[in-house]
């Protein structure tokens, strides 16, 4: 099996990839996640994921480089990681009582061939109505400050989610079903690898 390199410093993506039982090495990309004005969300996350994969690829001689990027979108407005507590509270007030989309771009690059597959996943999430006081308390925990859309579905933010349509793991940051399909394009089948251990 080709070695797998996760181009991410996210502990959530590391945890999700571990669920597949595949051995991998974490290689954080040295890139700025700047906004690409004018790009629709699906193209934005695909471009950022591809950028991360390309940033790590030169350090790899052989294997698969896996990268991802996640954004929250509310009424065509991209909500990345909040700049601070005030912006986090503002984002949560926007999401309160409403539906939004979570997009994750996924890029897998093979070395040394340079073959690159880029795709994305979209999940709809519905929040219950939040009280100002609970928004303030949640922001005070610090959890939303490094999360796209200012919440963590796998953490305390779960108490705000009234419903999800689509891939839950996409909301956490790595759509596992789509990833498995992409890996199979490169000859890596997680189930087969597990059984052959």
| Own/partner long-range contacts of 164-167 (Cβ < 8 Å, ≥24 apart) | 164/123, 164/124, 164/125, 164/126, 165/123, 165/124, 165/125, 165/126, 166/121, 166/122, 166/123, 166/124, 167/121, 167/123
Q: Where are the beta strands (DSSP E) in the chain?
A: 4-6, 25-26, 63-74, 77-79, 99-111, 116-127, 161-165
Q: Let me know if 146 is a catalytic residue.
A: no
Q: Which of 30, 69, 76, 146 is catalytic?
A: 69
Active site residues: 69
């Amino acid at each position: 099996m080709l070695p797998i390199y996760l181009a991410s410093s996210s502990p959530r993506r590391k945890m999700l990839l571990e669920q597949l039982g595949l051995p991998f090495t974490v290689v954080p990309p040295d890139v700025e996640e700047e906004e690409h004005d004018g790009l629709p969300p699906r193209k934005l996350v695909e471009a950022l994921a591809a950028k991360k994969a390309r940033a790590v690829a030169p350090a790899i001689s052989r294997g698969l480089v896996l990268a991802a990027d996640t954004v929250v979108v509310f009424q065509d407005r991209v909500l990345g990681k909040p700049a601070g507590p005030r912006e986090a509270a503002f984002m949560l007030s926007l999401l309160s009582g409403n539906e939004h989309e979570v997009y994750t771009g996924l890029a897998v690059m093979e070395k040394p061939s340079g073959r690159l597959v880029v795709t994305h996943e979209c999940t709809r999430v519905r929040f219950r109505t939040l009280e100002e006081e609970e928004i303030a308390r949640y922001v005070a925990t610090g959890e939303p400050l490094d999360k796209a859309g200012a919440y963590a579905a796998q953490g305390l933010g779960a108490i705000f989610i009234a419903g999800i349509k689509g891939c839950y793991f996409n909301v956490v940051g790595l759509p596992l079903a789509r990833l498995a399909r992409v890996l199979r394009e490169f000859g890596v089948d997680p189930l087969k690898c597990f059984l052959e251990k």
